[in-house]
Structure 1
Amino acid sequence: MTATVAGFISYDDARARALQPFALTRPTSELRAGALLVRERWAQVTGAPSGGFVGAPHVRTFEEGDAPPCTSGLIAAGTILVNSRCAPALDAHLAPDASHWRCDGRVAAVRLAQALPVERLDEGSLDLDTLVPDGAPSATIAGWWMDNVWDLVRHLQAMLAHDIPILGRGTDAAPSHLTVLGAHDCYVASGAYIEPMVLADTT
């Protein structure tokens, strides 16, 4: 059996599969948490592309945009398996010498010490903690957990306040004719045209 080698694989555990009604149509990694999809957040933090996801049977044929396919077979040793209910902070850093990373005390991601058959994840009952070798080095990352479907809204303000300044780096400066109120910065997409007499309230 050929092992799937990837930067990271998103795993929908049983609780992720219960995030109704969204879990009826897509894996949790394809939900928007803050400014980005959960998958996009992990891609930014790991610096690697997503190789796929493991989810409930009814979402295994999910296709949309650049979403990766459902993973099958073996997941290769060295692949990072992430819990798709964790939305990491975009400036989080995965310490390279760690075997697993915790967010708020819970294992959010683990680097597989050996190849893992996807069938062990099929039911969503496997806890990532069980994949951590005894005495393996750990590191902490910042982020938010989606334990209930309303957490996507409950954490939204905090996530957007965190995301926007990071994603706004490199955008165009606000034009001189734009009136800006409030203490926060105003970001303008590259190439965007702002009409005269426009006011932006950043309070």
Structure 2
Amino acid sequence: MTTRNGTPKIDWRGLIECTTTIVTAIATIVLAYGANRIASESNGIAAKSNQLAEYVTKTEQLNHVAAWIHQDKPGEGYDVVISNASDLPVYDVFVGASLQTSYDNPKPAITKCLAEYHGTNYALGTVAPGKWRVRIGMPSPSMSHRLGATVVFRDTEGRVWVRDANGKVAEIKQNPVDYVVDPRHCGGGLPYGLTPMEKYTD
């Protein structure tokens, strides 16, 4: 189609329709890309949330179990306090009390045999919720030493944990007694019975 002077007549309606089609196609592509990206990010967030939830569930009881050294009065011996602030018992519990030889070379406070001078292990068995004292009467350390306490236990899901005197936490694949007692050094047996506990109040 041409005008009166012979120049081609512009089909504005067709041009608008064509432009609209192109814009719509571009918008559709952009929206599809954005939707895919959002879906991908949402899946990633969901996966991380699930991992976090699993970790929180896994470590829930661990985060409520700890041990530390306690002294009632200056000049008296030191005892070990174990706290189970969870709602359920923990099992196969051992606590270790150690004399740290220096701040630069701390010991974990669980020894592989009672014969090792730097620490002593105590088998507690099952520890109910609450705070408990193990009376050991360790003497006060010298100026160049410090005392530390470690706890090893099995949670209600059967996982075995170690929280050492330096605050480091680890899951281990051994039974607590196998972790504490090294048969190469201790003759292959448990060298002690259960240590009595008493209720501890702050």
TM-score, normalization by structure 2: 0.25
Q: Which has the higher helix share?
A: 2
Q: Which structure would you say has the larger Rg?
A: 2
Q: Which has the higher strand share?
A: 2
